[in-house]
Amino acid sequence: MSKSSKWVVAIVAVIVIIAIAVGLRKPKEEIAEVVPESLKAAMVTDVGGLGDESFNDAAYKGLKRAEEELGFEITVVESKKMDDYEPNLRSLGDQDTDISWAIGFLLTDAVDTVAPEYPDLKFGIIDSVVEQPNVASATFKEEEGSFLLGVIAAKMTETGTVGFVGGMEVPVIEHFDAGFHAGVRAANPDVKVLRGYTGKFDDPAKGKEVAIAQFNQGADIIFHASGACGLGVIEAAKEQGEGHWAMGVDSCQHHLAPENVMSCMMKRVDVAVFDITEKVKDDTFEPTHYVFGLAEDGVGPCDRTSEHVPEDVMDEVEKYKEMIINGEITVPSTYTELEAFTPPAA
Amino acid sequence: MANTDEELRNPSKPPFRISREQAIELVIPVVAVLLALLIGALLILFIGKSPLVAYGALLKGAFGSKRDIAEMLINVTPLIFTGLSVAFSFKCGLFNIGAEGQFIMGQIVAAWIGFSLTGLPTVIHMPLAFLSGVLAGALWAALPGYLKAKLGVHEVINTIMMNYIALYFSHYLVMGVLKEPGPIPQTPPVQAAARLWRILPGTRLHFGLILALGAVWLIYYLLFKTTLGYEIRAVGINPHAARYGGINVSKDIVIAMSISGALAGAAGAVQALGVQFRFLDLFGFVGYGFDGIAVALLGRNHPFGVLIAATLFGTLARGAITMQSIAKIPKQIIGIIQATIVIIVAADEVLRRFLKSRGAATQALVEAGEVEGDGN
């Protein structure tokens, strides 16, 4: 053995020793973590992952609440790529997780495959419907909430032009798009709506680019439904300063730019996750399809909307909300339905 | 090799011996991995978790049961292909960053052939769908290869751009002509006849692994045992010398890029036909192609090195899942470990000098014949 290779062996040995020493330092914590008897709830994110300030974070909020209020032991598994959905769900099944949440329609196939493998455990999926005896599905009427934001935008715009920034042109985003357009049209048919897509969900820079383009075209309020791209939309409004507004999505995004976020279209994924997780604890879990619309408080403008929006507009919003709930308005959820949509005489 | 002298002097030693240069080549990746794991351990400690539990979960996730091993190998399979893809282009002096785009094209074309044709027997449909994906990847890489060979357009720029074209083109297809009716942006499922065989009952492990291992051998044979491989390596080492030596450099560049793309396309094809059974809209790059660059780098651009590196990265990727679900460690830790490995291997010159300077003192002894050495 040459001296150099001895030397290498020495480095390796030192590394291994340090690694082991480091590893052995905290044995107590593991014991503390093992709390038997508590129910387990978990979620698998889609490729967007935590930290999107939006969809996945909203689900996490619901799960966190289940931990705090119901005593669930919670776990989050983020998916790096699509091929991970199935193994991620299985790894939760293997831990006897009482309810595993699949966040997003991308996980539809995975839930459909994995849920039957664990018939004694329960699964939930957001934004998609899986018909299995142990799966609860939760979908949202995004168009209803977006409609109300469209009303606010149409009433609040000073330039007569508002914008919509979508992520990718997929059906869920179409709901936001169509609903927002319909709301604007109902409240003020003369207001022009710009429509832009970022082509992705995970790129704030791209969101900012599209938003700035719309501001330059005269829009003063931009509603986004583009996941993490929306962070760029909000950033753009903040940068352009007074008179430029962003409207957030999924979670309340006011804190990102309190002076430039007018309202946020809450999609209460947290409510869905919490409510259905609670049913697991109460043993009232049903493998059915839950729909969260305005009537169920599953969608709608966030509580901080009134900070920037005057009361008369809020009253208007309330009026439309009632009309939607009692069926006087059926909000379009696709472009085709939007074409055919004629707002009722207000 | 200067070992001959010493062998004569000391015949009891075995004739096969690794020189210091070679030893350093082998040691660098190992040191990189260990250092990266150590840094990962410190980070895990920093976030208040136990590295032992975390790495235990990682190992359990990759080797804990039959299904864990199968899942690990499922992660390894596409990385072998994309690692080979990048390594092969490197051997020709080309940097194919486009493996990601070639992967996407291979995936969507394989899925398309897989679901659209009906009534074919497995022996025809499965290879047909697989090879369509391979061909799609090859063509997607041949274009930047041609531009490089004929017009001198740099392949790095080209292949990066081709990645975006592939991403959005696939989105266009899966939202349009190839879309399954319904709310989800995906193609219809691949016909049963086009699906790769599951080779381990009760798991998702598919025939793609065998194909990948075949590709390792094939690329090794092609590179080191054929005239074409010799030419490609000659172009990689010095294109001017190769041209002077009568090699058609332009032709070899196009061929090397096509083969590189074919391998990345194969990765996409096995994912479509062996794992997902359809093409789901991507929402951004999946990363197998980019991970392939890291795998090639760590594997020293050698087919067998790629195999080992892909196994390591596949193990980490699989382990990241169980680290999250059992040890509650964020998956980003695995990303950091992978990135650290890449940085250390990429900056190997630092490590090399370090190791060499330590060896400098022994150099004199080498010359005196007291210690074995490479004699360079």
* CATH class of segment(s) A36-140+270-292: alpha beta
B184/chain A closest Cα distance in angstroms: 7
Given CB atoms, is B75 within the 8 Å cutoff of chain A? yes
Q: What is the CATH architecture assignment of B76-329?
A: Orthogonal Bundle (1.10)
> Between chains, do A77 and B321 touch, taking CB under 8 Å as contact?
yes
Q: Measure CB to CB from residue B321 to each of A11, A87, A199 and give the nearest one.
A: A87
pLDDT computed for residue B279 by the predictor: 93
Q: Chain A within 8 Å of B360 (Cβ-Cβ)?
A: no
CB contact B330 to A (< 8 Å): yes
Task: For residue A146, give both structure tokens.
Answer: 């977006």
pLDDT > 60? residue A86? yes
Residue spans of the domains in chain A: they are 36-140+270-292, 142-265+310-340
Is B213's pLDDT higher than 90? yes
Q: Which residues 79-138 in chain B show a CB within 8 A of chain A?
A: none
Q: What is the pLDDT of residue A244?
A: 93
Closest partner CB to B41 (pick from A23, A47, A88): A23
Burial of B119 (0-12, 13-18, 19+ CB in 10 A): exposed
Q: What is the mean pLDDT of chain A?
A: 88
* A36-140+270-292 and A142-265+310-340, same CATH topology: yes
Where do we find the tokens 């009482």? A98
Say whether pLDDT at A116 is over 70.
yes
Which of B324, B352, B370 to substitute to test the interface with A, most A CBs within 10 Å? B324
Q: Distances in Å between the alpha carbon of A216 and those of A26, A188, A237? A: 56, 22, 11
Query: pLDDT tens digit string along A232-244?
Result: 999 999 999 889 9
pLDDT of residue A218: 93
Q: Please list every residue in chain A whose beta carbon sits closer than 8 Å to the beta carbon of residue B283.
A: 47-48, 106, 168, 200-202
Confidence category of residue B358, pLDDT binned at 50, 70, 90: low
Contacts of B183 in chain A (CB under 8 A): 105, 128, 171-172
Question: Binning pLDDT at 50, 70 and 90, where does residue A123 land?
Answer: very high
B372 interfacial to chain A (CB closer than 8 Å): yes
Chain B residues touching A83 at Cβ < 8 A: 74-75, 271, 275-276
Separation CA B239–CA A191 (nearest Å): 63
- CB contacts of B275 in chain A (<8 Å) are 83
Query: For residue A35, what pLDDT band results from cuts at 50, 70 and 90?
Result: very low
Residues in B touching A75 (Cβ below 8 Å): 324-325, 328
Closest Cβ opposite residue A75 in set B75, B283, B325: B325
Pick the range with the lowest mean pLDDT from A45-49, B18-22, B154-158, B224-228: B18-22
Fold of A142-265+310-340: Rossmann fold (3.40.50)
**Radius of gyration from C-alpha coordinates of chain A:** 23
Q: Output B208-212 pairs: Cβ under 8 A, ≥24 positions apart.
A: B208/B77, B208/B78, B208/B270, B208/B271, B208/B273, B208/B274, B209/B73, B209/B74, B209/B76, B209/B77, B211/B130, B211/B266, B211/B270, B212/B76, B212/B77, B212/B78, B212/B80, B212/B81, B212/B266, B212/B270
Domain regions of chain B by residue span: 1-47+333-376, 76-329
Percentage of chain B beyond pLDDT 90 is 62
User: Which comes out higher in pLDDT, residue B150 or B349?
Assistant: B150
Measured CA to CA in angstroms, residue A294 lies from A61, A103, A343, B172, B314 at distances of 20, 21, 18, 33, 45
Per-residue confidence (pLDDT) for residue A200, from 0 to 100: 80
Mutate to test the interface with B, among A4, A12, A75 (most CBs of B within 10 A): A4
Q: For B147-193, write each residue's pLDDT tens digit.
A: 999 999 999 999 999 999 999 999 899 988 998 887 778 899 999 99
Please say if the pLDDT value at position A21 is more than 70: no
Cα–Cα distance measured from residue A265 to residue A251, given in angstroms and rounded to the nearest whole number: 7
* pLDDT bucket at A57, cuts 50 / 70 / 90: confident
Q: Which residues of B328-339 are buried (b: 16+ CB within 10 A; e: fewer)?
A: bbbbbbbbebbe
Q: Is B204 on the interface with A (CB under 8 A)?
A: yes
pLDDT in tens, A257-302: 989 999 999 999 999 999 999 999 999 999 999 999 999 889 999 9
The alpha carbon of residue B48 is apart from the nearest alpha carbon of chain A, in Å, by 9
